[in-house]
Amino acid sequence: MPRPTRDAAPEPTPDFQPPVRSAKLADQLYEQVLAKIVSGEFAEGDKLPSETRLGGLFGVSRPVVREALSRLQADGLVAARHGAGSFVRHRPRTEFQSVAPIGSIADLMRCFEFRVALEGEAACLAAERHTAAELTAIEEALAALDRVIETGALGAEEDNAFHIAVARAAQNDLFTTALESLGRHVLNGIHVARILSLAHNRSRLRLVQDEHVAVVEAIRRRDPDGARNAMRRHIENARLRVLGRGDPAPGDEPDAGS
C-alpha cells in the first residue's frame, strides 16, 4: 500500500504593489525588492522568487524582471547562482530607507553611475588645464569641507561646491552645465551619503575628505590620470557607502555580509 504523502508547504507570497506605468517598471521593481531586503523580509542568503514568479507578482514581463535583478546585482545587493536563481547578498542598514525613500533610489544610483564617468573626465581635464585662480577655488572648497568636519555639520552644499569647482577647472562649460543640470540628483546623493556617514560614525567623513584631498593633490601636480582615478574612486565609494558596502572607518563595526 503506498505511503501517504504530505503536501509541500506553500511558498509565502511577498506583497508587491501594482506598477505605476508612468515610471520605469524595472526601477519600480528594483525599489520594491530593495525595500524588502532593507526590511529583512528578504534576508541575507535568502533566495528571491523566480523571474517568472516575480513577473507574475508584480505584473510585468520577464525582461523587466531581468533588468531589475541586473541592477540589484550591479549594486552588490543580489548575487546570481547559475542554475539556482538569485540570492540576497547584502542588506543595507535600516536608516538607508529613511534618508533615501523608496521612489528616489533608482535615480540616485543611476546618478552616481553617470557621475563616475562625467566627473572623472572633468577632474582629468582640470589637472591639465587649471589656472592658478581655479586651483585656489578648489582648495578653498576643500578648506570649507574641513571646517564642516570640525563643526560636525552635514556639509552637503559645501561638498557639492567642491565638485562644481573641479568641473569649472576643466575649462569646458559643458561639464559644469551637465553637473548643474543634475543639481537636485547630485545634491540628493551627496546628502544621503553624508547623512549616512554621520549616522554610522562621524570619522567616516574623514575618509570622504581624504578622497577629496587625493583629487586635489592630483590636480595640483597636474596628473590627469591620477585625478581621473581619484575622482572616479571617490564617487564609486560614495555609491557603496550609500548602500552600506563601503569599508568601515577605524573603530566601526564591519558591515554585515561584507
Domain architecture of the chain: domains with CATH: 25-91 (1.10.10.10), 98-242 (1.20.120.530)
> Looking at residue 6, what is its pLDDT?
47
How far, in Å, CA of 66 to CA of 105, rounded?
A: 18
175 in Cβ contact with 114 (< 8 Å): no
How far, in Å, CA of 255 to CA of 246, rounded?
A: 8
pLDDT: is 184 or 23 the higher one? 184
Closest CA to 196 of 233, 241, 239, 161: 241
Q: Reply yes or no on whether the pLDDT at 92 is more than 60.
A: yes
Residues of the chain with pLDDT > 90, as a percent, come to: 50
pLDDT: is 139 or 239 the higher one? 139
203 in Cβ contact with 246 (< 8 Å): no
Enter the C-alpha cell of residue 25: 517598471
> Looking at residue 23, what is its pLDDT?
56
Q: Reply yes or no on whether the pLDDT at 206 is more than 60.
A: yes
pTM over 0.85: no
The 10 Å Cβ neighbour count of residue 128 is: 14
Kindly report the average pLDDT of the chain as a whole number.
84
> Looking at residue 150, what is its pLDDT?
87
DSSP assignment letter at 79: E
State which H helix or E strand residue 117 sits in: helix 105-129
For cell 525595500, name the residue: 35
Beta-strand pair 78-81/85-88: antiparallel
> Looking at residue 76, what is its pLDDT?
86
- Per-residue pLDDT averaged across 20-37, rounded? 81
Name the pLDDT band for 256 (thresholds 50, 70, 90): very low
